[in-house]
Amino acid sequence: MAVYLDWRTWRRRTRVDEWEQWKLKYNKQYSSQEEDYLRQRVWLSNLKFVEEFDSEREGYTVAMNEFADLDPREFVSHYNGLRRRPHTSSGEPCTLGEDVSALPTTVDWRTKGYVTGVKNQGQCGSCWAFSATGSLEGQHFNATGKLVSLSEQNLVDCSSAEGNEGCNGGLPDDAFKYVIKNGGIDTEASYPYVARDEKCHYSSANIGSTCSSYVDIESKSEAQLQVASATVGPIPVGIDASHLGFQLYDGGVYHSDLCSQTRLDHGVLVVGYGVYKEKDYWMVKNSWGTNWGISGDMMMSRNRDNNCGIATMASYPVVKAN
């Protein structure tokens, strides 16, 4: 005799099956049954958000990615790590100007050899180090013609005197200060990333790049950021990445009316810009692995009143050929 399930029982069992499949896909294991239940509740809440999300209206898509078992507050505490402080930078002022009329409509430094593959910071608030190394890698390539992956762990372990706090956060400018004072930064191969704070073991024998100075782009000027992005190379920036749509971003041009221009919590790397479906965007390289976003990258809205503060705290290092 056939057994029929009522709709609610069927839906609950279906969701449990989806939960188990999602855990298998992302190799999720929890310390206890209670923790599993808690994560499932958060996952179900995020699933409701994804299913009700209006991608046509918002202009981007979201998905149940590997971070779907975290609520936004938890996510920020685990994966973001930009420390916004009163402006005390000693960087050189940017003299590039704001005239964008002669610039190309599309720029992508990934296709020109300036950008290493997407990396993964893990559950360590070291995004600032990844945005700093990304820009140093690009400028080192510009100066030498060689793309060298540089050590985020070197910055995490060794730049506390400049104001950085390892996995508890930091700033790209303070990373540049360290590399300048230190006389260089080690290669990724010689000083690999471990996603936790360790004792500094920098070696001058393993230098991958140097830095002579750094330049601060005019705060909140998307025009000057565009000039720098078109003429200099990949640019590290700070953004507000505290919202669920960002956490579960899957494609399209991200924009959020909830974003702040000043409450910045995440460091990323602008690797170009362009236009997608008549929407101006910044192409951003993130440090959350290739399962997130567009194989680890993201299109963020451009020329929409500095959305998410993308031009509020931008800078770039100066690297000279030896």
Tell me the β-bridge partners of 284: 270, 298
**Active site (catalytic) residues:** 127, 266, 286
Of 7 and 316, the one with more pLDDT: 316
Q: What is the pTM of this model?
A: 0.93
Nearest to 219 by CA among 177, 173, 151: 173
Amino acid at 93: P
How far apart (Å, rounded) are the C-alpha atoms in residues 172 and 190? 21
Give the pLDDT of residue 192.
98
Give the pLDDT of residue 95.
84
Fold of 72-318: Cathepsin B; Chain A (3.90.70)
3-state SS string for the chain: CCCCCCHHHHHHHHHHHHHHHHHHHCCCCCCCHHHHHHHHHHHHHHHHHHHHCCHHHHCEEECCCCCCCCCHHHHHHHHCCECCCCCCCCCEECCCCCCCCCCCCCEEHHHHCCCCCCCECCCCCCHHHHHHHHHHHHHHHHHHCCCCCECHHHHHHHCHHHCCCHHHCECHHHHHHHHHHHCCEEECCCCCCCCCCCCCCCCHHHEEECCCEEEECCCCCHHHHHHHHHHCCCEEEEECCCCHHHHCEEEEEECCCCCCCCCCCEEEEEEEEEEECCEEEEEEECCECCCCCECCEEEEECCCCCHHHCCCCCEEEECCCC
Q: State what percent of residues in the chain have pLDDT above 90.
A: 87
Each residue of 20-50: pLDDT tens digit? 999 999 999 999 999 999 999 999 999 999 9
User: Tokens for 292?
Assistant: 């997130």
The band of 4, judged by pLDDT with boundaries at 50, 70 and 90, is very low
Mean pLDDT of the chain: 93
Q: What is the CA radius of gyration of the chain?
A: 21
The band of 94, judged by pLDDT with boundaries at 50, 70 and 90, is confident
Each residue of 118-154: pLDDT tens digit? 999 999 999 999 999 999 999 999 999 999 999 999 9
User: Quick check: 10 pLDDT over 80?
Assistant: no
Give the pLDDT of residue 315.
96
Of 161 and 12, the one with more pLDDT: 161
User: Quick check: 88 pLDDT over 60?
Assistant: no
- Cβ density class 84-99: b for 16+ within 10 Å, e for less: beeeebebeebebeee
pLDDT, average across residues 57-74: 96
Give the pLDDT of residue 3.
39
Each residue of 51-61: pLDDT tens digit? 999 999 999 99
How far apart (Å, rounded) are the C-alpha atoms in residues 185 and 237? 20
What are the residue ranges spanned by the domains of the chain? 72-318
Each residue of 222-256: pLDDT tens digit? 999 999 999 999 999 999 999 999 999 999 999 99
pLDDT, average across residues 274-300: 97
User: Quick check: 271 pLDDT over 60?
Assistant: yes
User: Quick check: 86 pLDDT over 80?
Assistant: no
How far apart (Å, rounded) are the C-alpha atoms in residues 37 and 15? 13
